[in-house]
Amino acid sequence: MSLECTTSDLMLALVNTRPSDNGRVERFDDEAGLLRWLTEAGISVDEPVTGADVVAARELRDAFATIFRAHCGCADAPVEAAEGYLRSIAGRYPLVLRITVDGVRVKTSQTGLPGAFGTVLAAAADLSARGIWSRLKLCKNPSCYAGFFDKTKNQSGQFCSSGCGAQVSMRAYRSRIKTA
């Protein structure tokens, strides 16, 4: 399955490489896992992927996951650290504008793995320019924390599915019954 259909798909695919209690496994556990994800995302890398690249990919992913948690109203998300990290790496993976008759697109200026990380940053810039950046969120269900695109009219979605919302509601209900 190719993930290149939209920039939001790319961003969600990135944050959903994290493990969770509901069975999602760590996709960036080694070089082969990162290379497999890049291939699935339609991002070609013509150089070997190293262990340091895997660590860098996890850091990038975790920074975006923190931002998406904040979009969902999680006050405990360390947003300042994530924003600082993203600001610091923006210089390492510079972007350029491609201006055509059809419009302006933000593209990476590099190739290889730096180009792959730049593609992710370009996707974030595209989502922000289209005014839908804040619609990318992380599910508030502690056993899930999956990235999702909030399609609600008022941007109030907090769960990736009705099943996750029901799980959280049932846990809260059981907790209230237990303490009563």
- Across the chain, mean pLDDT equals 91
Helices 7-15 and 51-71 meet at what angle, rounded to 10?
110
Contact 144, 160 (CB under 8 A): yes
141 DSSP assignment: -
Average pLDDT over residues 22-40: 94
Q: Which two tokens stand for residue 147?
A: 């990235």
pTM: 0.88
pLDDT tens, residue by residue, 125-138 = 999 999 999 999 99
pLDDT of residue 1: 37
pLDDT band at residue 57 using 50, 70 and 90 as cut-offs: very high
Query: Average of pLDDT values for 81-110?
Result: 93
**What average pLDDT does range 138-145 have in this prediction?**
92
Tally of CB atoms within 10 A around 3? 17
Closest C-alpha among 139, 164, 163, 104 to residue 15: 139
Residues 6+ apart with CB under 8 A from 129: 106
* Cα maximum dimension of the chain: 66
Give which of 123, 163, 128 is closest to 22, Cα–Cα.
163
pLDDT, tens digit (0-9, with 9 covering 90-100), for 60-82: 999 999 999 999 988 787 999 99
For residues 43-64, average pLDDT: 94
